[in-house]
Each structure stands twice: as structure tokens, then as C-alpha cells.
Structure 1
């Protein structure tokens, strides 16, 4: 039985928004907040505080829903970046039904036909907390649909999370200051900065480690800074901490030591994040 024959594709209507929000949150990953109506509004208008400059370069997104038996069973949003004639699939949700994922991808590819290049899941939307790619373990049907449509998938990020508090302590002497919507932390020794980190303000009890760098290695400064960053987040009410590791190019930048540190502190890899080109 060909279930795709029952699917009707049409532009998203205002009355579809609750159903679309339910689809989005059905795909929510561990360590990610629930998407809100305000988040959906931002995504539909092509706005995001994550990767904001990338979004500003796009034409207004087009969002289409797949309807089956009167119910919204899938949604895809896509747009054009005119400066390089690229069509982009921005986000897609369908409870990982294979036939719906395939239909949504096919519709977007058809609508973007004639562009010099097609891309998918290249940067973070307003619907998540910094997810710059498709989490392929949790989204196998969407991943498969993109590959069948001729896209190449690039494995770019390790997405990791941990419960707070971590099993490593902070250290005295770390300075923290408010910076934008988060905090910057520094650790100095003998008047020299030896480590630094940045964390976001918690959202729905989830804080993000944006970056961490130890300028002196082999002294445990990275571990000390990680413990201190986690303590700052816990003090602000965070119950979870997430981070992203760009481990896609080990020859140029090894992340073996960093991931070893995170694992030793209690972080686990939730998923691999892929981006796509065609």
C-alpha cells in the first residue's frame, strides 16, 4: 500500500501551528528545550539568535505541511540565499515516518529546482539550542530521505550532554563576568591567563558550554575550568549542560583530549550532527 498517495502538500496555515509544534517537540533530543510558540514564530519568519547572520542572508522561508486524512503529519521549511544562488532545507519534522520524510524532501527539492546548489541542515534554527545539523541517530528516516534525494551527508559535530552537578569540582580563583546572554570565565596564574570558557544562560534548565580553552596543557586547567563553568550554570538553576565538539577534521584539529575530558566529567554523546549538500 502506497501511503504517500494519501499525502496532500500545502502551505502552512495559522491553524496548523499547534500540530506543527507537536511534531517539532516529538523530535526533541535529550538536552534540548521544548520549542515554544514564540520559537516557531521566529523560525517561520527566518529569525534565530543562533547563527543569526546566516539567517539574515536568506529570503523569507517557505513552510509547507504534509496532510493525511485531515491531520498534519509533516512539515518542511526551505529558503533561498540569493548571493550564491543556493537553496536550503532549513528544518523538517515528521515523527520519522519514512514516506512522509521522503515526500517532504522531494517537495522542497522540486521547489528549489534550478538553484546552483542545494544544502540542508547547515545552521541552527530557533527551534533548538544551537543544533547545527541533523541528529542522524534520532532522525534516521530524514537522513535516509536526504541521501536518496542525492544529498551528501557530512559528519561535522559531536553533540554531548551531562546532568548537573558534574562529578568534578570548580576551583577557587576563577573569575566570571556577565557577557551578553551568558557568562565568560577566566583562570589566571602568576598574572597569566591559563584557561577560559563561555557558557549561556540556562534555558528551561539547560545550559550550553559554548567554548573552553586551556592555554597551558598538562596542568589540569581545562578540567578545573569545566568544573567551574558547570558550577556557574548550576548556580543559575541549570540541571543539564550540553556542548558541541567540532571533531570532523582530526588531522587539522584533534579533539581526542577534549572529548576524553568531557567523558571523564560525565558527558555522553547524544548524537552526531550532519549537514548536507547536493
Structure 2
């Protein structure tokens, strides 16, 4: 769902009337909020991600996961509410649930006008109040709207609101992006391509001429010309060939009309040589770090 000129005008109009003194109210999500909430989600999209559909928004409102029609991870008491202006226009939305396994709460997703930090804070306070006195984890799981983690560079207002509400950032990942417009489509004979049973996608198997395995990579099926590099693995003795395997992936994708590739790498605070090497490998292949995705926790 692309952000149109009409959407940009809508943002300017709502920003003008949704300042700290604007009259707002938090209420349950209604079907009439779907267009406005999808527009808010679209405004928060990272490069390489496609805008969600109405059906995907409905799944997110229900707390349904990516892999089936059941409420994911055994979550209970899923709630989705919107922050609305006096005329009923939604300018933010938040969804939360309870995790029965340990009694913790999960803030599943939150979207609002990012330049209006007070809107994010109002939504966070509503979720924390609704969850009661318990530990709350935020953005820990992927949804039908976005991957796990808050993109902290793109969404500074929400990040500051989380910190103001007592949340602390813990785990984090690097979100990388690569366009394939600059390369021709070609495949190398040393790569076998098979369907991947673990998810809708392809498994690329890199082999020597004698058939011995060097490594493999898994990529998702493209959606609107965009796909995700899920995993790259090399046998210990052949790790120096990581650049070849990654080039194999990109060549295979370009040959099939893929225009953009994204991937997510761990980004620990203290650094690790193997993870630094993974970043260097992807950077050498033309990937750029767009943002960091952070998970947050708030203790009672």
C-alpha cells in the first residue's frame, strides 16, 4: 500500500490538529478505522517491505500470527484500540495481549503519527494500564504488519515514548537492504536451486564440481518484486567463500525479476567477531544498514 499525495496531505492536516492540546480519546478499534490505520502503518514501512493489506491488518487486530489461523504463541486477551480525534479520526493504534506461559504482557504493535511523540505515549500508557502490574515486552514477535523490533531511527518519537514510559531496549538487529536493479540476471552452474520446505521460498545449495557441499542459503518467495534473505550457511572449512554464495543468491533473485532484497542480522551491544564478519560480508555484496530493530521490556 503506497503512500500517496493524498496521504501526505492527510498527515499534514492531522498533524496540525493533533498537537499536545488536541482533544483525543482512546477507544476500541472499529472496522471504520481500517483505512486510517493502514495509512499509519504504511508511513512506518522500512525500505523493501510491502504495505499490508486489509486482510493482514485484520489478522494483526485479532492477534493472529504469520503461520496460521490461530492466535500466535498462545496469547490471550488480545486488545486493539485506537487514539482518535474528537471527530472520530484515528491518529494512532496499539495492540497488546497477555502471555499465559509466564503471565507477561506483550505490546504487539503500535503505529501513530511519528512526529507526535505525545500520541505514542498516550497509546503506550493505555496499553500498560490495560495490562496491569506485570512485565511487558514490546515488539518481540513479527506480525502481519512488520518484522519484530522497533526501527529506532525511522521511529524516534515512539522510541522516546517507550523510554519515557519506563521501557528499556534489550535485543537488537541490523536491518539491511539491497536493490538489484544494477545487476543482470545470471545463474552459476555451481548452485542448485530447490524449493524450501520450511517456508515458501528457495534453497540455494552451493557445491564443488565434484558435488561436495560448500554451503546453502534460503530466500523467501518474492512479493511485489521484494524478498527476504533468511539464512546463509557455509561449511566451516569454506567460510572464505561466503561472498560467492551470496553472489549466487543475488544472481538467482535478479534472474527471477526480484528488485529488492532485505535481511536481518543480530547486532549485539558488545560486538562479536562472527557477527561483524557477517555484516562485512553483506556490506561487500552491496547491502546497506537502513535501521536497527530493538525489542523493549518494562518491569513493574
- TM-score normalised by L of structure 2: 0.84
2:173 corresponds to 1:157? yes
TM-superposed CA distance for 1:161, in Å, is 0.2
TM-superposed CA distance for 1:237, in Å, is 2.5
Alignment RMSD (CA, Å): 2.4
Cα distance in 1 between the residues matched to 2:95 and 2:168: 19
Contact 1:161–1:268 (CA under 8 A) maintained in structure 2: yes
Contact 2:187–2:255 (CA under 8 A) maintained in structure 1: no
Q: Look up the SS of the partner of 2:280 in the other structure.
A: helix
TM-superposed CA distance for 1:34, in Å, is 0.9
TM-superposed CA distance for 1:5, in Å, is 5.8
TM-superposed CA distance for 1:3, in Å, is 2.1
Contact 1:50–1:126 (CA under 8 A) maintained in structure 2: no
Cα distance in 1 between the residues matched to 2:68 and 2:137: 16
Which of the residues 35, 52, 61 maps onto 1:35?
Answer: 52
2:220 corresponds to 1:200? yes
Alignment of 1:133-172 (within 5 A): 133-165=149-181, 171-172=188-189
Which of the residues 277, 282, 286 maps onto 1:257?
Answer: 277
Q: Look up the SS of the partner of 2:125 in the other structure.
A: helix
Cα distance in 2 between the residues matched to 1:136 and 1:272: 6
TM-superposed CA distance for 1:107, in Å, is 0.5
User: What residue is the counterpart of 1:182 in the other structure?
Assistant: 201
Query: Structure 2: where are the runs of 5+ without partners?
Result: 1-17
TM-superposed CA distance for 1:227, in Å, is 1.3
2:125 corresponds to 1:106? yes
User: What residue is the counterpart of 2:72 in the other structure?
Assistant: 55
User: What residue is the counterpart of 2:108 in the other structure?
Assistant: 90
Query: Structure 1: where are the runs of 5+ without partners?
Result: none
2:87 corresponds to 1:67? no
Which of the residues 242, 246, 254 maps onto 1:222?
Answer: 242
Cα distance in 2 between the residues matched to 1:10 and 1:155: 31
Contact 1:157–1:272 (CA under 8 A) maintained in structure 2: yes
User: What residue is the counterpart of 2:251 in the other structure?
Assistant: 231
Contact 2:183–2:254 (CA under 8 A) maintained in structure 1: no
Q: Look up the SS of the partner of 2:124 in the other structure.
A: helix
Contact 2:64–2:71 (CA under 8 A) maintained in structure 1: no
- TM-score normalised by L of structure 1: 0.91
User: What residue is the counterpart of 1:276 in the other structure?
Assistant: 296
Cα distance in 2 between the residues matched to 1:23 and 1:158: 23
